[in-house]
Amino acid sequence: MERNDILREILSDPEIMDKYNINEKELTELTTNPPYHSNIVEVLSTIINENDNHLSSSMIYKKVKKTHNIG
């Protein structure tokens, strides 16, 4: 699926994988659907999914904040 591919492509950056403890195997299994591997995966999944739903960036930000329990 295109959304999962985008998610995996962005998170495949070695620095990100290292910092957020994502290994190669986990990377290939990441999806934009819950349950999420980690916070960064949840944030990026929210952005990818809601962009497809044509939400504006301010609306997406509100949803992102919720994932950090600060919204």
Partner 1 sequence: MASIINSLSFKNFFNYYGDYDQTEYEFKEGVNIIVADNGAGKSKFFNAFLWLFYDDVLDSDDKKRKAVKDFAVKIISDKAKNETEIGESVEAGIKLEYSTGRYKFQIVKSFTATRIGEKISDNESWQVIMNDIEIDKTDHILPKYKPVYDADEKHRIINQLILPTLRQYSFFQGEEVDKMIDFTKKSSIEDAVRTLTNISKYEDIAKIVEDIEARAYKDLNKQTKQKESHNDRLEDALKKRDELKTSIGQENEKLEIQKESYTKAQEEYELLDAKYANASKRKELDEKISSKNRTLKGANEDYQKFLEGINNRFFDGNFSWISLGFENVVEDFKNKISSFRAARYEKRTLLQVAESPNDYFTILPSNSPDAVTLQQMIEKEHCYVCGTDAPKGSEPYNHLLKLKNRPNDSSSKKEFVKNNLEDFFSGLQLNASPFLNKFESIPQSVLRTKEKELELKKRLDKLSSELKALKSQRKDLLVTSNQDEDSDPREVINQFKNAIKRMESASGRIERLDNNLKDLKAQLSATEKEITSLRPKDIPEGYSLNYEIAQDLVDATKKAKERVFDKMVSLLENHANEHFQNLIKYNDIKGGVLNFDKSPSGGISLDYIDEAGNEVSGASEGFQRMKKFAVVMAIISANTSNYNYPLLADAPLSAFGKAFNKGFFEAIPNVFPQSIILVKDLYDKDSESKLTDLGAKLVKDENIQTFYLNEVDGELAQIERTTKIERRK
Query: For partner 1, which is the closer residue by CB, 25 or 70?
Result: 70
Chain residues that interact with partner 1, rule: CB under 8 A: 2, 6, 9-13, 15-16, 19, 39-40, 43-44, 47-48, 51, 57-58, 60-61, 64-65, 68-70
Task: Specify the residue, 35 or 70, whose C-beta has the smaller distance to partner 1.
Answer: 70
**Please, what is the minimum distance in Å from the beta carbon of residue 46 to partner 1?**
10
Q: How far apart are CA 8 and CA 29, in angstroms?
A: 9
The residue among 21, 14, 36 whose CA lies nearest residue 47 is 36
Which residue number, 28 or 65, has a Cβ lying nearer to partner 1? 65
